[in-house]
Amino acid sequence: MASQLLQAAVLGVLTGGVYALMASGLTLIFGVMRIINVGQGALVILGAYLSFVLFNTWHIDPFLGLLVTMPAMFLIGVVLELVFIRPLKTDRESLSVLVTYALALGIEGVLGFVFTANYRELSVWYDTASVPLFGFRITLVYVFGFALCLAILGALFLVLYRTTFGAAIRATMLNRTAAQLIGIDVEGVSAVAFGIGMATAAAGGAVFGITTAFNPNSHYDLISRLLTVIVLGGLGSLRGAVVAALIMLVTQDVASVIIAPEWSAFVFFVILVAVLLVRPEGLYGVRVRERI
């Protein structure tokens, strides 16, 4: 039991890294633009399908393929922002939820048309190979995925905290109007932030596609988890998203050992409810008087 629990905890940390990556894009978009991208789940699935196509057609390794899919998804993100998000002038917060929901449905529909509803999986060699760790074996893909997430999240933090452009992003997150007043191109920052969000979705999608069988429908389950993660972490807080993802996934994996695997996803929502009762603004969130 003890070793099972330890194994679950280690696996939770490793998969938590992947969720942290996917959720970081979501929370960054919220922080910069004050919109919730309900389409993030569908974009992760799109990323998984892109990796799948590269792998099956040209035998490009999903991790290597990120060199193609991440910039591609970045561009898609910039275009989506320009076409669908920027025109929303009034009531952005609620309208953007609906727009991104509609985008998710559109992506689901196109993917369903192209790839049918059959489940796909990226079967790479490191999906079956494993390494020994603390007396049990961990599948390599989790280790690789975790390393990738550390690298990308690290790069993201470096950009945010060590570059002028990162400062512009953080300024926009703090106060959009003030940032505009001191000459920051907030519209441009928003487009880039949306693009970064998509790029993290592409990276998350590649790992997700290797570890999990997916079909065009899979985004519902994914987005409900990602949204729960960013609410727990506090909307707009990158650090919060990372911590919350680790907490959620470790708790979930441990719960699946203690209680039952089919109830493990329920833990996500129980934690959410508990957090809302105690701290509605989330772990690292700030209590703001928002106007609706």
Partner 1 sequence: MNAARRFAPRVALLLVAIVAILLPVLEPNPASINVAVFTMMYVGLASAWNIMGGYTGYISLGHAGFFGLGAYTLGLGVAHLGIGPGYGPFALVPLAGLLTGLFALPIGWIALRTRAATFVIVTIAVMFMLQLAAMNLIGLTGGTGGLSLPVPRWSGDFYNTPFYYAMLILASLTIAVSWWIRRSKFGLGLLAIRDDEDKAMAVGVPTRQFKLAAFVISAALVGMIGGVYAYYVTYVYPEFVIDPLTGISMVLMAFLGGLGTLTGPVLGALLVEPAQLSLAYNFGASRLYLVFYSGVFLVVILLLPRGIVPSVRDLTIGWWTRGGPGRAAGPSPGPSTPAPGNVVAP
Q: Is 173 in the site for partner 1 (CB under 8 A)?
A: no
Task: Please tell me the distance from the alpha carbon of residue 131 to that of residue 59, in angstroms, as a whole number.
Answer: 24
Residue number with CB closer to partner 1 (182 or 277): 277
Answer for which of 20, 43, 76, 99 binds partner 1 (CB under 8 A) is 99
Binding mask 231-250 for partner 1 (x = CB under 8 A): x---x---------------
Q: What are phi and psi of 118, to 5 degrees?
A: -65, 145
Supply the Cα-derived Rg of the chain in whole angstroms: 19
**5: DSSP letter:** H
Binding mask 30-59 for partner 1 (x = CB under 8 A): x---xxx-x---------------------
Q: Is 95 in the site for partner 1 (CB under 8 A)?
A: yes
Q: Is 113 in the site for partner 1 (CB under 8 A)?
A: yes
Phi-psi region of 61 (alpha: psi -120 to 50; beta: other; left: phi over 0): beta
Q: What are phi and psi of 88, to 5 degrees?
A: -75, 110
Answer for which of 151, 258, 276, 286 binds partner 1 (CB under 8 A) is 276
Sign of the alpha-carbon dihedral angle for 160, 249, 198, 28: negative
CB of 21 to partner 1, least distance (A): 19
Q: Is 220 in the site for partner 1 (CB under 8 A)?
A: yes
Q: Is 221 in the site for partner 1 (CB under 8 A)?
A: yes
Answer for which of 106, 136, 163, 188 binds partner 1 (CB under 8 A) is 106
CB of 19 to partner 1, least distance (A): 15
Task: Return the amino acid letter for 141.
Answer: V
Listed in sequence order, the residues at least 6 apart from 283 whose beta carbon sits closer than 8 Å to its beta carbon are 232, 233, 234, 237, 240, 243, 244, 275
Residue number with CB closer to partner 1 (130 or 224): 224
Residue number with CB closer to partner 1 (178 or 273): 273
Task: Please tell me the distance from the alpha carbon of residue 132 to that of residue 136, in angstroms, as a whole number.
Answer: 6
Task: Return the amino acid letter for 35.
Answer: I
* Of 188, 239, 210, 257, residue with least CA distance to 62: 210
Site residues (vs partner 1, CB under 8 A): 30, 34-36, 38, 84, 87-88, 90-91, 93-95, 97-99, 101-106, 108-110, 112-113, 117, 216, 220-221, 223-224, 227-228, 230-231, 235, 262-263, 265-266, 268-269, 272-273, 276-277, 280, 289-292
